[in-house]
Amino acid sequence: MGYILCIETTSTNCSVALASEKGGYSNSIGIQHCQDILEDMNDSYSHGELLHIYIQMLLERNNFTTADLDAIAISKGPGSYTGLRIGVASAKGLCYALEIPLISIDTLQSLSLQASQEGIVIPMVDARRMEVYSAVYRKGEEIESVKAIVLNANSMQEYLDDGNSIIIGSGAAKFQGLLKDQNNTYINTLSSALTMCDLAMEAYKKSDIVEDIAYYEPFYLKEFKAG
């Protein structure tokens, strides 16, 4: 049985989960392979202080050590530059030390799985001011790839007209406030390691879908500028 540590640090949520074939963690959105999760849903970044503490706590309360892990999954972005760097550095270090594979999970695809109903799901990650990182999914399949969007009253209009779309993520409230749309569903939330679990387990079973630990970099989407 594969055990995968899932790390999500692309937003202010410092989130780690243990994915396994048997799962067992109760949730309302149908995630099957999460065994346990520990996260800090707040509005300030705490990854540098909490990430390794959370990993240790999660493993200990499941009677695990890092030696029991078969892979590490990282939420690859886009998102916070600092959060991405901390998460990826930690994941790469663990994979290198334990000699286990690194799996990268599309952040927006994972975020879209927090929407429990079928149909059009538009994950939006706040990128400050009126910009978001977004993509479009239907029944879990990508129909419009990730891009940076400066929101305006006409954004995503082709998906909003029928009133059955779900806009989810840290940019959802900003978008709703701009449109004053009462027809579609807006869910203001953060990315979570919970919804990484099924994607990580699926990737782990396809053993060729792993990253080169030495050369792997986060998906910033926009060029990273230090300072």
66 shares its domain with 170? no
CB proximity list for 18: less than 8 A, separation 6 or greater: 3, 4, 5, 6, 34, 35, 36, 37, 58, 59, 62, 64
Q: For residue 43, which of 120, 106, 126, 115 has the smallest C-alpha distance?
A: 126
CATH code of the domain in which 168 resides = 3.30.420.40
Do residues 27 and 17 make contact, with C-beta atoms less than 8 angstroms apart?
no
Range of the structural domain that residue 74 is part of: 3-107+191-205
Q: Domain total for the chain? A: 2
Do residues 36 and 62 make contact, with C-beta atoms less than 8 angstroms apart?
yes
For residue 61, tell me if it sits in a domain.
yes
91 shares its domain with 201? yes
pLDDT of residue 97: 97
Condensed to tens digits (0 to 9), the pLDDT of residues 79-101 reads 999 999 999 999 999 999 999 99
**The pLDDT of residue 195 is above 70:** yes
137 shares its domain with 82? no
**The pLDDT of residue 224 is above 80:** no
22 shares its domain with 92? yes
130 shares its domain with 85? no
Is there a cis peptide before residue 218, judged by omega within 30 degrees of 0? no
Q: What is the pTM of this model?
A: 0.94
Condensed to tens digits (0 to 9), the pLDDT of residues 141-168 reads 899 999 999 999 999 999 998 888 999 9
